[in-house]
Amino acid sequence: MSAARIYLAAGGTGGHIFPALAVAEALNAKGHETCLFTDKRGANLLAGIADLPVRLYVISAASPFQSGLLRRIIATGKLGLGALSSLWHIGLRRPEVMIGFGGYPSFAPVLIARLLGVPVMVHEQNAYLGRANRVIAARARLLALSWPQTKNLPDGVQTHITGMPVRTAFFAKRRPSCTGDDRVLSVLGGSQGASILGTLVPDAIAMIDPPLRNQIKIYQQARIEQVEDLKARYTKLGVSASIKPFFSNMPNLLAKSDLVISRSGASSIAELAATGRASLMLPLPSAMDDHQRANALQMEQVGGGYCLDEATVSSAFLATRIMQLFEAPDELGKMAANATVLASPNAATDIAALAEGLISKRNAPNLGAIA
């Protein structure tokens, strides 16, 4: 089909923004013009990515479901500003399709597009339909899902199982685990960070037998206030470690990892599956509808990783699990292979094709009935 203008809207966390980026990449490959609406958090996440394949529109947004009247008023005001900004951009250069990826920054652009008569579709990353997507999906032409068992779906909405879109760079980086003498452990807290990993993991590493500990090389994402303390702790343990608040080249990092300890947001799970990496997953307890646990259990069920409970996991247990896996390279290899079962290499192109289908239906001539 001829080139079209297709807009995307996504929340400011990695679980929303990176799937949108993958779809933008697929749309651009087909010659379409793409623009992505997100908030400042989303823009900051994308700042370190070279050759960004999409134009950004940064808008105001906040969750209206906050405690305290004043906070709710402020959040409503931010959503209102986001709606005005969306109305300006969409009205000025109207797209032929709008794709929403959830999160409150997607709320205003998608609803404004719908009010202006633009066909809307939604992609849900998690195994439980999120709050913003619940409202939007009821007004969408179709709903693309990452998981067949997705819960809390509205009635009467056309659904398609596409899987979770991931950038092509992740699929290009697959390699066998434990190919050298070193054992590479990556610790990823997700785009929102995970302060518990800043204490849990170094405590566990300290309990590992020295011969194995000396083989471990660590790459750890940490909150900025934890970075220097973690560097000092690992130096004292004699462990080689790279500690940063953010790793800009995640495909390369996962590719050289033998084991990954991480949160279990939808984007994290999809990237582990695409790269084929064994994992120990620590779901964020406060995640909406406990969706991170549902995501982690999907990976555990296929044998690609273990779902751990933040409330009960101890450093001693974590140390034991790390030792068991690093001392059994064949088991790590099996887990890595199992993880790929959840990969959806065609998800981004399938979502792009669905968007093109909406354009084709909209542009199809209505010949009416023949008398």
Give residue for tokens 């920054």. 105
Least confident of 56-70, 82-96, 350-364: 56-70
Contact 11, 104 (CB under 8 A): yes
* 259-262 and 55-58 beta bridge pairing: unpaired
The whole-number pLDDT of residue 223 equals: 87
Cα radius of gyration (the chain): 22
Model confidence at 371: pLDDT above 50: no
Q: How confident is the model at residue 233 (pLDDT cuts 50, 70, 90)?
A: very high
Least confident of 93-107, 120-134, 175-189, 247-261: 175-189
- Higher-pLDDT residue of 78 and 351 is 351
The whole-number pLDDT of residue 247 equals: 86
Mean pLDDT of 352-357: 96
Q: How confident is the model at residue 367 (pLDDT cuts 50, 70, 90)?
A: very low
3-state secondary structure 84-128: HHHHHHHHHCCCCEEEECCCHHHHHHHHHHHHCCCCEEEEECCCE
Model confidence at 251: pLDDT above 80: yes
Model confidence at 197: pLDDT above 50: yes
Q: How confident is the model at residue 369 (pLDDT cuts 50, 70, 90)?
A: very low
| Helices 197-207/227-237 angle, 10° precision | 0
Q: Give start and end residues of each alpha helix (H) in the chain.
A: 14-29, 40-46, 69-92, 104-115, 131-137, 168-171, 197-207, 210-213, 227-237, 250-255, 266-275, 291-301, 315-326, 329-339, 347-363
Q: How do residues 155-167 score in pLDDT, each as one tens digit?
A: 888 999 999 999 9
Query: What mean pLDDT is reported for the chain?
Result: 89
Model confidence at 190: pLDDT above 70: no
The fraction of the chain above a pLDDT of 70, given in percent, is 94
Model confidence at 50: pLDDT above 70: no
Q: How far apart are CA 26 and CA 21, in angstroms?
A: 9
- Of 24-38, 191-205, 286-300, 353-367, highest mean pLDDT: 24-38
The whole-number pLDDT of residue 313 equals: 94
The whole-number pLDDT of residue 368 equals: 43
The whole-number pLDDT of residue 322 equals: 97
Mean pLDDT of 53-81: 81
- Higher-pLDDT residue of 170 and 173 is 170
Q: What are phi and psi of 293, to 5 degrees?
A: -65, -40
The whole-number pLDDT of residue 76 equals: 77
The whole-number pLDDT of residue 220 equals: 95
The whole-number pLDDT of residue 130 equals: 84
Q: Which domains are seen in the chain, by residue range?
A: 5-165+345-363 (3.40.50.2000), 170-342 (3.40.50.2000)
